[in-house]
Amino acid sequence: RSPSPPFMTSTLQQEASRKLGFTAQRTMQAAQKLYEGVDDQGGLITYMRTDGLYVSPEGITQAREVIAARYGPAYVPEQPKYYKTKAKNAQEAHEAIRPTNMSRAPETLRLESDLQRLYELIWKRTIASQMESAKLDRTTVEIEEPTGQTALRATGQVVTFDGFMAVYEEGRDEKQKTGEDDEDDTTRLPVLKEGATAKVDAIRTEQHFTEPPPRFSEATLVKKLEELGIGRPSTYASILTTLRDREYVRVDKNRFYPEDKGRLVTAFLEQFFAKWVEYDFTAALETRLDEVSAGQLDWKLLLREFWQDFHAATQAAGELRTTAILDALNESLGAHIFPAKEDGSDPRECPLCHIGQLSLKTSR
């Protein structure tokens, strides 16, 4: 098993959420302090807003020296490990997030709690990224009853050389539960011989149902933003903060739940500004901005193209009557606001007169 690459902004926020319980904003605040330096120690980590996985030759050399000294030559691979980001629209203008001095181990520092924990996470991840891969033996056992009509399978693995796992293992998000077998490769199996007879101790039948994917946590939402090409390393934390501050979502047990206010805003934008809230709009715009930065595209042309359509849409939206907006929102949110009734009757029928229709209205 190969180690994970060093941190970039998105993966640092995800891992700090999984392992430390930090919000993206809390992670970035602590990282900012580590970058600026504490007391007279100078900057402790490299720049924390980055989508790059590159580590300088000096950083790699330091890491390999630390690995050899602390864990022995067996943990140092023959060749340094190099990584390349798979994120959409990655600019890779900065190094990966790593300690500025790899020999500065976490236990040698005395920092406030958040800074200490985040520095240790960054240090371990960086060191592990340059260590030898772990070696594991995977075993699959198949058991059949004499007629061969029923077969059972168990899978497990044993670590024969821990490699980078001596320092660090990446956290995991919740897996979606399905009706399929969910084998746990970490299960330890007893020593067995092929053809041996197994004694049946007990038989237990279980039924599994496919469940919907879990709600987004900060870690999984940042990961999804990165996959869709929405935002940049410098904006992930502010996006999540804005959603909470404007009460578009609420957070319960580190899970995001959409609020009615957020549903209304989303429905309005999808109805009247559909082009600008499509998932690929931000990614496409970021690509064109990169072209402007590289001198391949005139910024005035890009701005003109954007502004003409957007200005027309805002003008049209400004001239809409309230009834037209409410009709559009009723159509879009009807199933959510007026869920179907068990008896099959019209969910929007007025409960008093049984003639009128329930509808969204503006408050007085």
Helix (H) or strand (E) holding 62: helix 57-71
Which residue bears the tokens 């497990």?
156
Q: Is 130 a residue whose pLDDT tops 70?
A: yes
Q: What is the CA radius of gyration of the chain?
A: 27
| pLDDT 10s digits, 240-284 | 999 999 999 999 988 999 999 999 999 999 999 999 999 888 888
| pLDDT score, position 355 | 83
Name the amino acid, one letter, at 209.
F
Nearest one of 87, 82, 20 to 50, comparing CA atoms: 87
| pLDDT 10s digits, 165-212 | 999 887 665 554 444 444 455 566 777 788 888 888 888 888 888 888
Active site members: 47
Ordered by where they begin, the domains of the chain are 9-129 (1.10.290.10), 134-166+175-212 (no CATH), 218-337 (1.10.460.10)
pTM of the shown model: 0.76
Cβ distance 157 to 185 under 8 Å? Answer: yes
Which residue bears the tokens 């690995």?
67
Name the amino acid, one letter, at 187.
T
